[in-house]
Amino acid sequence: MPVRSGVVSSDDVARRLAQVQERVAAACAAAARRPDEVRVLLASKTMDVATVRAALLADTAARTAGATHAPVLLGENRVQELVTKAPALADLEPTWHVIGPLQSNKVNAALRWAAAVESVADDALARRLSGRAQGREQPLDVWVQANVSGEPTKHGVAPDAAADLAVRVAALPGLRLAGLMTVGARSDDERVVRAGFARLRAVRDEVVASGEPGTEHAHGLSMGMSGDLEAAVAEGATVVRIGTAVFGLRATPAG
């Protein structure tokens, strides 16, 4: 019996995840990129543990059956959801990323479970993460989030300031700058969406080309969601963050 939770059954989750992996593979082929250059992160906000578990199991089953993609990552916007779901899924050993704004008083709780924070948009949070990450066995992966669309509701440093922030973050002990992250423009015009992703790629190129300490790993581009993953892959995404395409529409608004 498939578990039904939220709007999609576990069978649906498996089928929809396979479709997303196919979309990623097709987008890579169209861009003459290798499919293993792009990893799927499942944005599990508002989804319950059973639904997320179904997705992780479907991913493992697909890879056992011969699919060659890397295991999916998981992303949470809110620390409260992370600390509830992560222990309940710990037996499957998923890799969690924080993908929403992180308040400084939630850093300790987040770092218990998260391998990466993708939403670093100011020096204060970066310093706080650095202080807490020192003493970990592995450095904490951090991504600098830029607001390439300029939409005021969106989190992220202005694109003009993103490269400088990334260079400062890269130099902090305990952190490993993995790249840049953005949420694309909310627009039906694919050219506008793609221009934003291209902007993030240009920031990434500038950071890596700087040769500054700690920038040598910063090749990542976390961009593209259910509606615009093809545009993001075309512009160089290395991680696409997918919610609704796998889990169905959320009952509550996006966090």
> Among 75, 1, 30, which Cα is nearest to 229's?
30
Angstrom distance (rounded) from CA 142 to CA 118 = 6
The length of the chain in residues reads: 255
Cβ-based nearer residue to ligand PLP, 78 or 199: 78
Instruction: Please answer whether residues 12 and 68 qualify as being in contact, where contact means their C-beta atoms are separated by less than 8 angstroms.
Output: no
Structure tokens at 82: 């992370």
Cβ-based nearer residue to ligand PLP, 75 or 214: 75
For residue 45, state whether it binds ligand PLP (rule: CB under 6 A): yes
Query: Closest distance between ligand PLP and the C-beta of residue 181, in Å?
Result: 8
For residue 111, state whether it binds ligand PLP (rule: CB under 6 A): no
Q: CA quadruple 116, 223, 183, 124: dihedral positive or negative? A: positive
Query: Closest distance between ligand PLP and the C-beta of residue 26, in Å?
Result: 17
Angstrom distance (rounded) from CA 144 to CA 170 = 10
For residue 225, state whether it binds ligand PLP (rule: CB under 6 A): yes
Cβ-based nearer residue to ligand PLP, 45 or 176: 45
Question: Which of the residues 157 through 216 are near ligand PLP (CB under 6 A)?
Answer: 183
List own/partner pairs for 77-84 with CB under 8 A and 24 or more apart.
77/43, 77/45, 77/101, 77/255, 78/45, 78/255, 79/103, 79/106, 79/109, 79/110, 81/44, 81/45, 81/46, 82/109, 82/110, 82/113, 82/114, 83/109, 83/110, 83/112, 83/113, 84/49
Query: Closest distance between ligand PLP and the C-beta of residue 64, in Å?
Result: 25
Q: What separation, in Å, do the N-terminal and C-terminal C-alpha atoms of the chain show?
A: 31
Near ligand PLP by CB under 6 A: residue from 54, 72, 99, 162: 99
Residue matched to tokens 């020192």: 134
For residue 85, state whether it binds ligand PLP (rule: CB under 6 A): no
Near ligand PLP by CB under 6 A: residue from 73, 98, 239, 245: 245
For residue 28, state whether it binds ligand PLP (rule: CB under 6 A): no
Question: Which of the residues 65 through 84 are near ligand PLP (CB under 6 A)?
Answer: 77
Cβ-based nearer residue to ligand PLP, 167 or 181: 181
Amino acid at 172: L
Query: Closest distance between ligand PLP and the C-beta of residue 45, in Å?
Result: 5
> Among 229, 222, 223, which Cα is nearest to 244's?
229
For residue 226, state whether it binds ligand PLP (rule: CB under 6 A): yes
Near ligand PLP by CB under 6 A: residue from 16, 97, 128, 241: 241
Cβ-based nearer residue to ligand PLP, 236 or 243: 243
For residue 40, state whether it binds ligand PLP (rule: CB under 6 A): no
Amino acid at 204: R
Give the interface with ligand PLP as residue ranges (CB under 6 A). Answer: 43, 45, 77, 99-100, 183, 225-227, 241-245, 254-255
